[in-house]
Structure 1
Amino acid sequence: MKNDLLKPIHPGEILLEEFLIPMSISPLRLAEEISLPVEQLEDIVKGTQAITSNISTRLSNYFGLSERFWLNIKHRYEMDLKL
């Protein structure tokens, strides 16, 4: 049964709310530091672009996380959309 009370959380929202805002990192700064076009990172944060395996690796390296961290969040988001 679909839970209409909770919408799936896009990985970009997690990136923004759990990493960028608490760490006072702007999307521009992160984009520059991980060699990603700022427009692409802004689209991820807005939830209009997916996190690819390449971007997942860059984010994981930057934040000191396992390479699977972002892909697991992406996978969970995609599964929640199907419910």
Structure 2
Amino acid sequence: MTIFNTTGMQRQPTHPGAMLREDFLPDYGLSVEQLADALGVSRQSMIAVLDERKAVSPELALRLARLFGNSPEFWLNAQRAVDLWEASQSIKHEVAKIKPLDVA
């Protein structure tokens, strides 16, 4: 039996920057500067991700996955969830007007 999620997510997903800020940095004892240096990125771009002003790119996902021993998909899926949530909130009224097609 398949149960479909027809209501969608009711809360905004956690931004990967918040995951880094609240879970990964404290667990690994890293400062923002240490994280940026370890990843080979600028401190300013890392701060933008941590402040949730910038998305995790595929390139950053590869770097984070290597550093923390997880997968790039982990980081990209987290970012994708945030992006879809934000898009669904911004155009939900327009999407609601679309009539689904019936199979011929």
Equivalences for 1:4-83 in 2 at 5 Å?
6-81=11-86, 82-83=88-89
Q: CA deviation at 1:77?
A: 1.1
What amino acid does structure 2 have at the position aligned with 1:24?
G
User: Retained in 1: the 8 A contact 2:18–2:50?
Assistant: yes
> Structure 2: where are the runs of 5+ without partners?
1-6, 90-104
Q: CA deviation at 1:79?
A: 1.7
TM-score normalized with structure 2 length: 0.70
| Higher RCO (C-alpha under 8 Å, 6+ residues apart) | 1
Q: Which has the larger radius of gyration?
A: 2
| Identity %, equivalent residues | 26
TM-score normalized with structure 1 length: 0.87
Name the stretch that deviates more: 22-31 or 51-60. 22-31
> Structure 1: where are the runs of 5+ without partners?
none
